[in-house]
Every structure is written in C-alpha cells, then in structure tokens.
Amino acid sequence: MNILRYTCGKWLLYPVLLALSLVLTPVAPASAQGNFADYPPLLPDYTSIKIFDNQGRYVGRLLPEKRYWASIDRIPSFLQKAVVAVEDARFYEHGGIDIRGIARALVKDVVKGKMVEGGSTITQQLIKNKYLSGAKTIERKLDEARMAIDFEKKYTKKQILEMYFNEIYYGNGAWGIVQAARIYFDKNPEELTDAECALLAGVPKNPGRYNPLGKAANVTRRRDVVLKRMVELSIISPRQQQRLRTQRVTFMRSGQALQYVAHVRAKLIERYGAEIIEQGGLEVTAALDLNLQKQAELALAEGVKRISPHMQGALVCLDPTTGDVLAAVGGVGVTKGSYNRAFSAKRQPGSSIKPLIYAAALEKGITAGSIWNDTPVAYDRGNNQVWKPQNYGRERYGDLSLRRALAYSNNVITIKVLEAIGVPYFTDFAGKMGLPLRAQNGLSLALGTDEVTLNDLVQAYTPLASGGMRSEGRTIIRIYDHRRRAWTENPPIVTPVLAPATAFVTTQMLKDVMTYGTAKSLRRFSQQHPAAGKTGTTDDYRDAWFVGYTPQVITGVWVGYDKPRPGGKGFTGGAVAAPIWERFMRRAVAAKPAVDFPKPDAVVSVTIDPTTGYLATAECPKKRDEFYIAGTEPTQYCPKHGGGEAVPPPVTPPPPPSPAAKDGML
C-alpha cells in the first residue's frame, strides 16, 4: 500500500507537470551546433602501452589518465542502435521527455508494487550525468525535464547521442565510450564488434552490475535483454540475435604486478615526459619475471600475515650481474596506486648496513682474521652527554675475529671498525656502492641509523655478489614504438666499484651469518645453494631486514609497521625477514645450478689459529682456513702455541674515542 500511495500520490503528478512543460515550450527541430566536445578528440591511431615480462608474457597496460572524446562517426552504428533500443526506443520522436514512456513506467511500477522502471530518455540521462545529482526527488526530475527540452532545442539528435556516449558511466572507472572500449577490450570505439557493442549497450542501466567484468550470469542476462529488444524493434533478425548470443567475447584481463607496472610507468615518464602515457603506442619489455613476481607476492603476504595482519613488508629481487629487477613487491594487499615500500619507503637498515663497513675495512687492509675486542667504549656527545653503545642483548664476547664479529652482528666491534677506517671514508665508499649516506650521522652509521630504501640497499649489495661490479637497477629492457616502428634498447649499467678480492672475502664472511650467525635458520638452504647474507634489526624492534644472495640472484626483504613502532621482542631480521627470504629464494633458484662464488686470483687462503689470527702451528688446538686479499695475510706463526717469540697479533687497534653524531641501533 505504501508504494501505491507513494506512486499515486506523488509521482502521478510528474507526467502532468511534464505535459504542461511541453505545452508551454514547444520543441522545434534543432540545428547542428559547433564544437560541443568537453574533452580533447581521441587520436585516430591510439594504442595503449602494453608491458611484457622478460619472457614475453603479458603483464599489464598503461592507460591515459585524461578523458577523450569520440565523435559520433567513431561510435559503431550497431552500438547506437542497441542503446536507443534498450534505453529510449522513441528517442528520435520525442522532444527530450517521453510522456508515453513515463506513463508506461508508472503503470509497471504500480503493477509490480515497487519502482522498477524510470522512464527517463537518453537526453534526460545525459542531463543527469552531466549536470545534476542522482537524487530521486520531484524537484530534480522537473529540472532534468526542463533542461532536456532545452537541450533538444539546441542540439540535434546525433549530437545528443554523441554527448551521451561520451558522458555515460560504464563501471570500473570508465567514463564514456572511449574509456570503456579501452578498459574492457583494449580498443578504440570504432574497432568494437557487434557482440562487444551488445554487452556495452546494457551497462548504463546498472554499471556496477552489468559491466563486462561483473558476474557473468548478470552480464549475459542483460546482453540478452538488449538483443531481444533489438529483435522486437526489427533492428536485427532472430538469426542475428542467436549468432550474437553464441559469439565469444574476450575481455582484457586485469593487470598483474600492479606496483611493478606503476614503477615502469614512472620510468617512462622520467625518460619521455608525462605526455608519453597519453600518446601511447609503446610495447615495453620489462626486466620482470612474472612467475617470480607471483611467488614474491605470495611469500611476502603469507610471511607477514603470520606475524600480524596490521604489519607491512616489501621484497626486491635482482639479477646481480645486470641489475634486472626480477620481482618487486611494495606491500601486502596492494592495489593500483598503493604506496610502494620497495622503492619509496625510507627506513633505518639496522645491522644490514654492516657488510658495507666490513668491505670498506678490507679495502683499507684490515683482514677477516684480525682480532677485535667488544668491550664497550663511551663516546662524548657533548653537552655532558655520553654515548655507550652495546651489543644486541647487551652480551659480551671479548676477543673476536672480524669474521665472527660480522656473523654475530657485533655492534661494539662494528663501531670500532668504522672508527678505524673513518666515517668520511666509509660514506664515500657506500656512495660508490650506490647507497648515499650522511656523514653527519657519525659512528652511529655502523648501526644503520641513516634511512635507505629497500631497493637502494639491495643494489648496494650487488658488488658483493658479482665480484665487485655495481649493477644499477633496471626495470625496462627495451621499448618498441609502433609509430616509429623502431626498438630502443636499455642496456645494463654495470660499473666496477670494488676489488673482486674484497667482494669475495666479504661474501665468505657473510656465508657464516647463514651457518652459525644471526640467520643460522638458513643453514640448510646455504648448504644446498651457496649463499651469503645479513640480517638487520633496528632499535626497539621497529624494522626487520634480510638481504641475501647467491651468484645468480640477490633478494632483500623488509618487514615493519608503516608508522614505525616496536614489533615486540623477537622481532628480528633473522626471525621475521629471513624465513620470507628463504621461501621466495627456494623458488627463485630452483631451476638454477648450485654454483659457488668464484675465487679471484688475488685471494689467498692460509690456515690460521682463529683465536689469535696468526698462522696456525701443529700445536694450535683450533685451526681454520681463512681468506685474505693477497698481501694482507699473516706471516707470523701463532706465538701461543710454539710459534716462537711473541709478537703483536695482526689486529688493527681502534683509534682513541671520538664524538658520535647520535644514538644508534642496538
């Protein structure tokens, strides 16, 4: 009764008011107006930018951000007829509003007992989309009717239809037929088939429900309504109807690797300017390996979810010899336009910075077998403040070789090493490795207090994995320009920044991290696939890192909260990031040979007593083979075990304490 009362009491007044409007404002045939397009005209030869991975597999597309206008001659005749048939069969007869259609709709509403049909003409729909809100009020309907009548006086039917197709919404962010044809079929409007037109003609009634990517049953049912109506109006024959119902239509697949594609977009704009996206016409071969990308997304999502559903993470995988970014995941549950933590987020790397300090020390002549003591030292910070850095957990080991200090991620010894080589020297060294750091952070740089992106940190490890060659990250391998019919190659940028011997010895030290050090959970992996890496954990457990590599692949993982806060005790690089790294890397190296890092000629191996750093004698209870850059190996035998007269051990003593810039990571 309520619907009947509402319909009869209020909406039955509507056709009366509209009839009066018609009587008072008779409609004369309109003459064609000049330029009425609201957007730039669609280029005749436009094609979207398509992105393929390094194996030629389709990844996704880059579509223009702007809206473009399709003239009526570029809109298929079949689509025009289909829309008129299903939306406004008397379009060419009425003057903007269709009293007969409104009356018919109201009768149906009364019979059904609910609002099932609106009776709006194409002109009214255009007015509502272009100028008015969707509010269902008598006032809005009257404004819509008056404006529709005025429109019919000003524009021809063909012009109104052209405006309609360019203004109507087709779902999934597609405003107008140009965007709809691109998003759903990767075509210009004039390229649409009759079967594709039949689908699109049914969308405006309910874009969220009937768009081509919606539920198949709903989309098909609506298309059948369109075709049935066209048969009733003798626009197509029953035979054509049947053919179009059975004709297969292929939709564009949803894009994959959304953030990687967004990064490619940024690189294209950086190279060609922002207008390149609007111009289109390119095929881009990306460095991406689509299979690895999917594995990276899965490993990161599942790994982070086990820790906390509110936490985030990132993963970057490179080919260390070329810098090719094989996979990059900028977060968990990402969507188009999501913040890319792999390339943009700057966080403190904690102890994952230490391999660069130790590599710099090796270049200065300090050796992996040299002995250091981790007794804490106090540093004057000025203003009567003292900085006394401690090891993680405040434990003390006493004397340690540089190798073991790195494996255990010893904070105190790392600070002493940085002090020995000098902060300016190290920041210059890190810059050459591709990691810009601020010297004003002082000795706290040893604990990773400067902020870096995951992508930059992983790139800085490439010289360690590739024998001293720094590889700049590459996301685009080549580009084909359809207009010029020409390829543009984007060769790798590889620069020697580190002595091969230094890279090798540092890598051998980092192998211990994965056997008995802070990432010993990866021991089995490293036994199956020779690998090296380093954990990173920042103060108060805010960030967890692991960067590790084989000779063929280097991968970094970061986990933490977007708004930095503690992850809780035990939230460390070894416990949180390393398992994610392993899960991904097992798939990344599964089809690759388990080869070891090649030893350069400039590296020598000698047997030492690891507790003293001297050459081992027969009486030494502990012995190990240690690698040295030729010329830095010890020449004295162990004095504690029959090596002759005692001489100073091969240790580089730290210089006197100096002020540190700021507190560091424990």
Burial of 530 (0-12, 13-18, 19+ CB in 10 A): middle
CA distances from 137 to 123, 124, 141, 147 (A): 18, 14, 6, 16
Count other Cβ atoms within 10 Å, centred on residue 71. 14
C-alpha span between 87 and 548 (Å, rounded): 61
C-alpha span between 122 and 126 (Å, rounded): 6
Q: What are phi and psi of 329, to 5 degrees?
A: -120, 120
Q: What are phi and psi of 503, to 5 degrees?
A: -60, -40
For residue 204, how far is the Cα from the chain centroid?
Answer: 32
469-473-477-481 Cα dihedral, nearest 10 degrees: -140
- Find, among 284, 288, 251, 287, the residue nearest to 268 by Cα: 284
Retrieve residue 418's tokens: 């940085």
Retrieve residue 580's tokens: 């994610």
Q: Per-residue b/e over 499-529, b at no fewer than 16 CB within 10 Å?
A: bbbbbbbbbbbbbbbbeebbbbebeebbeeb
C-alpha span between 315 and 317 (Å, rounded): 7
- Find, among 231, 248, 255, 243, the residue nearest to 196 by Cα: 248
C-alpha span between 170 and 210 (Å, rounded): 9
Instruction: Write out the E strands in 196-299.
Output: 282-286
For residue 97, how far is the Cα from the chain centroid?
Answer: 49
Catalytic residues: 87, 351
The length of the chain in residues reads 666
